[in-house]
Structure 1
Amino acid sequence: MIQTVAPPTLDGLFRRLLARHPDAPALADPLDKSRVTGQPPRRLTFAQAERLIAALAAHFVEVGLPANSVIAVQLPNTIEFVLTVLAAHRAGLVVALLPQLWRQAELTVALNRTGARAVVTMSRIDGVSHADLAMNAAVEAFSIRHVCGFGTDLPEGMVSLEDVMGNGPVPSPSAIQDGRRAAIISFDVTADGFRAVPRTHLNLIAGGLAIFLESEIPQGATVLSAFAPSSFAGIASSLVIWLLSGGALVLHHPFDAGVLEQHIGEQACDVLVAPAPLALRLAEAGILSNFPALRHVIGLWRAPEQAASSPAWPGEQAALTDVYLFGEAGLFGARRADDGAPLLIKPGPHTAPRAAVDASTTGEVLLTPKGTLALRGPMIPVAAYAPSTPAGKSPIAQPPLDYVDTGYAARLDRASGALCITAPPAGIVAVGGYRFLAHDLQEWARRLGQGALLTALPDRLSGHRFAGRAQDNARAREALSALGLNPLMSEAFRDQSPGG
Structure 2
Amino acid sequence: MPRASDGTPPDASRGIPADVPLRRVSLGSLLSATARRHPERIAVVDPADKPDWSDRPAITWTYAAAAEIVERLARGLRSWRLPPGSRIGLCLPGSAESALAILAVEAAGHVACLLPVSWDEERLLAAAQNVALSAVLTQARLGSARPAERLCAVAARYFGLRYLAAFGPDVPDGVINLDRFVLDGPAREPAGPVPAAAGLVSFVGGDPERPVYRSGEAVVAAAAAHLVAMRVAPTERILSLIGPHDLRGLATGLAAALVAGATLETMPLFDGAAFAAALRRPGPTHLVAPAFIEKNLAGRDLPAELRSIALVHRAPARFPGRSRAAGGPQGLRADLVIDTIAFGETALLSGRRGTTSDLSLVLGKLERLTLPAALMSLRRGPDGRLAFRGQACAVTALQRGNQQAVPGNAWQETPYAPVLFAGFATAIEEVESSDAAASPEIFAPAQSGR
Match of 2:132 in 1: 115
Q: Check if 1:184 corresponds to 2:200.
A: yes
| In 2, Cα distance between equivalents of 1:80 and 1:7 | 26
| In 2, Cα distance between equivalents of 1:213 and 1:141 | 43
Greater displacement, 195-204 / 255-264: 255-264
Runs of 4+ in 1 over 3 A off after TM superposition: 168-174, 308-318, 338-343, 346-353, 359-362, 398-401, 409-413, 418-422, 424-427
Q: Which runs of 5+ in 1 are unaligned?
A: 354-358, 387-394, 428-500
Q: Check if 1:295 corresponds to 2:307.
A: yes
> What is the deviation of 1:184?
0.8
**Same amino acid, percent of matched pairs:** 26
Taking a change above 3 Å as real, the CA distance of residues 121 and 320 of structure 1, as seen in their structure-2 partners, is: same
Q: Check if 1:146 corresponds to 2:163.
A: yes
> What is the deviation of 1:364?
2.6
> What is the deviation of 1:277?
1.9
Match of 1:476 in 2: none
SS of alignment partner, residue 179 of structure 2: helix
Q: Root-mean-square deviation (CA), in Å?
A: 3.3
Structure 1 counterpart of 2:384, from 371, 385, 403: 371
Taking a change above 3 Å as real, the CA distance of residues 310 and 201 of structure 1, as seen in their structure-2 partners, is: farther
| In 2, Cα distance between equivalents of 1:88 and 1:75 | 13
1:178-197 Cα deviation digits (max 9, x unpaired): 5xxx411001159x993111
Aligned residues: 400
> What is the deviation of 1:6?
7.9
SS of alignment partner, residue 165 of structure 1: helix
Q: Is the 8 A contact 1:299 1:321 kept in 2?
A: yes
TM-score by length of 1: 0.73
User: What does residue range 386-397 of structure 1 map to in structure 2 within 5 Å?
Assistant: none
| In 1, Cα distance between equivalents of 2:123 and 2:24 | 34
Match of 1:281 in 2: 295
Q: Which has the higher contact order (CA 8 A, sep 6+)?
A: 2
> What is the deviation of 1:361?
6.7
Structure 1 counterpart of 2:338, from 316, 321, 341: 321
> What is the deviation of 1:363?
1.8
| In 1, Cα distance between equivalents of 2:300 and 2:283 | 17
Opposite residue 366 of structure 2, the aligned amino acid is G
| In 2, Cα distance between equivalents of 1:374 and 1:405 | 4
Q: Check if 1:69 corresponds to 2:86.
A: yes
Match of 1:239 in 2: 254
SS of alignment partner, residue 391 of structure 2: coil
Taking a change above 3 Å as real, the CA distance of residues 16 and 243 of structure 1, as seen in their structure-2 partners, is: same
1:81-115 Cα deviation digits (max 9, x unpaired): 01101111111011000012111111111111111
Match of 2:366 in 1: 348
User: What does residue range 213-228 of structure 1 map to in structure 2 within 5 Å?
Assistant: 213-228=228-243
> What is the deviation of 1:223?
1.1
User: What does residue range 196-215 of structure 1 map to in structure 2 within 5 Å?
Assistant: 196-215=211-230
Taking a change above 3 Å as real, the CA distance of residues 144 and 229 of structure 1, as seen in their structure-2 partners, is: same
Match of 2:416 in 1: 408
| In 2, Cα distance between equivalents of 1:262 and 1:339 | 34
Q: Is the 8 A contact 2:235 2:261 kept in 1?
A: yes
Q: Check if 1:132 corresponds to 2:149.
A: yes
Taking a change above 3 Å as real, the CA distance of residues 12 and 327 of structure 1, as seen in their structure-2 partners, is: same
Q: Is the 8 A contact 1:324 1:332 kept in 2?
A: yes
> What is the deviation of 1:341?
7.8
Match of 1:491 in 2: none
Greater displacement, 343-352 / 82-91: 343-352
> What is the deviation of 1:38?
2.1
| In 1, Cα distance between equivalents of 2:270 and 2:430 | 25
Opposite residue 305 of structure 1, the aligned amino acid is A
Taking a change above 3 Å as real, the CA distance of residues 240 and 57 of structure 1, as seen in their structure-2 partners, is: same
> What is the deviation of 1:151?
0.8
SS of alignment partner, residue 107 of structure 1: helix
Q: Is the 8 A contact 1:294 1:318 kept in 2?
A: no
Q: Check if 1:9 corresponds to 2:26.
A: yes
Taking a change above 3 Å as real, the CA distance of residues 342 and 232 of structure 1, as seen in their structure-2 partners, is: closer
Q: Is the 8 A contact 1:372 1:407 kept in 2?
A: yes
SS of alignment partner, residue 295 of structure 1: strand
Q: Is the 8 A contact 1:411 1:422 kept in 2?
A: yes
| In 2, Cα distance between equivalents of 1:135 and 1:339 | 51
Structure 1 counterpart of 2:276, from 255, 261, 282: 261
| In 1, Cα distance between equivalents of 2:75 and 2:410 | 38
| In 2, Cα distance between equivalents of 1:407 and 1:123 | 39
Taking a change above 3 Å as real, the CA distance of residues 168 and 71 of structure 1, as seen in their structure-2 partners, is: closer
TM-score by length of 2: 0.80
> What is the deviation of 1:317?
9.0
Q: Is the 8 A contact 2:75 2:185 kept in 1?
A: no
Taking a change above 3 Å as real, the CA distance of residues 361 and 57 of structure 1, as seen in their structure-2 partners, is: closer
Match of 2:442 in 1: none
| In 2, Cα distance between equivalents of 1:341 and 1:253 | 29
Q: Which runs of 5+ in 2 are unaligned?
A: 1-21, 434-450
Q: Is the 8 A contact 2:54 2:141 kept in 1?
A: yes
SS of alignment partner, residue 60 of structure 1: helix
| In 2, Cα distance between equivalents of 1:400 and 1:28 | 36
Q: Is the 8 A contact 1:197 1:381 kept in 2?
A: no
Taking a change above 3 Å as real, the CA distance of residues 412 and 115 of structure 1, as seen in their structure-2 partners, is: same
| In 1, Cα distance between equivalents of 2:309 and 2:85 | 36
| In 1, Cα distance between equivalents of 2:223 and 2:267 | 19
1:52-107 Cα deviation digits (max 9, x unpaired): 11111111011223211110001001000011011111110110000121111111
SS of alignment partner, residue 26 of structure 1: strand
> What is the deviation of 1:168?
6.8
Opposite residue 333 of structure 1, the aligned amino acid is S
Opposite residue 424 of structure 1, the aligned amino acid is E
| In 2, Cα distance between equivalents of 1:346 and 1:38 | 49
| In 1, Cα distance between equivalents of 2:112 and 2:412 | 23
Q: Is the 8 A contact 1:349 1:364 kept in 2?
A: no
